[in-house]
Chains A and B, each alone.
Chain A
């Protein structure tokens, strides 16, 4: 299939000599949704970091083939720069694309963050940071969006916004990869990668 953006057989990942994931076969396509589930320490975050090029551990010379594609990861660790304001963060993180102010403002408003746009991130709660990161993901429209523990920190309204984002992306044939301990119920048509079974 031409839509495969990540493929590996017998993938082994770890930190130093400690192995976290062993002998995982994985083939991911651009227009499909995936849910990575597993208990604590099973390697969900490690796998998402690898997919989104944020992995800084040991791959034990595993054979990994990947196609250049726009991947964005929303991790449980905030990526936003805490000394900048919300709008400065949005402008910086979308600087690689030509996005007009109107789209930026309407997206920030959609995520209920417009009144905070001139506030610095260090004064934000975890939920507000996650909403801002979701807004940036919405603006950037990556081919693949990875979200680690998607429901963490979000209130009911935030979860609704996330659900809308995922539905819109699915309708536009874009891939979403979510990881959590149990199925989150956010993805309708999905394939499950169960790290408890390996």
Chain B
């Protein structure tokens, strides 16, 4: 188990470099001159322009630019934004907001997804099951930005139950509505996955044997059906954490959440390589670590799986 964890962390190294190189190149290859954009299209003194280019290494060929970026990275210097702030400071402000948002979305998904999925699975073919199936299908079919705007308008503006946009500090209560929007599509998938898994396991031989032992219905469901059914759901949730961070771009845009989705979007528009690569790099790490946690959870849920 220790060897397995260690090996997975070592795998992180090539994944990280590969991802940053790719992202750095994509930003480099994006058409448009970032310095020209910076000056707002007005003519700029050649000396100032040259100084700016030198400051951000934009006068160097691609490999040197990337090399210099990596050199800085080793010393934990993530570079500066075009407005002169340290990238690490900008990310340090934005990241906790997004992390909060993603954790709330993931919790909503996990709790309500499993709950509704279990009930639907146990009452397959009944009214609750049918309702949940149709509702989840609608949620999956409608794009997130449509759902986001509709909920913002109805819940935020018309009913006035929540602030339609999030304020600067992004407290928990204000993030609730965006978190629901962010987690809704995955919630629908979790419900369907849990339902399918439960109704499959309900017919397993060992469940019948457990019933034959004289166990109560509740115990059979909780002890013998649930744990086995959660194995595929956990995999989905783990992989979804990364998707939530990525999906945050749309949701954060709608609700004006000052998180990394917003930050990333603006940085891409400005061609700010340092910011884009740093944000994506962190996302890559989160993704890989989340997957590792899933694998370890897997082994805990299913004793047949042993890593060597």
Are A and B a genuine interacting pair, yes or no?
Answer: no
Residue ranges of A at the interface with B (Cβ–Cβ < 8 Å):
none
Residue ranges of B at the interface with A (Cβ–Cβ < 8 Å):
none
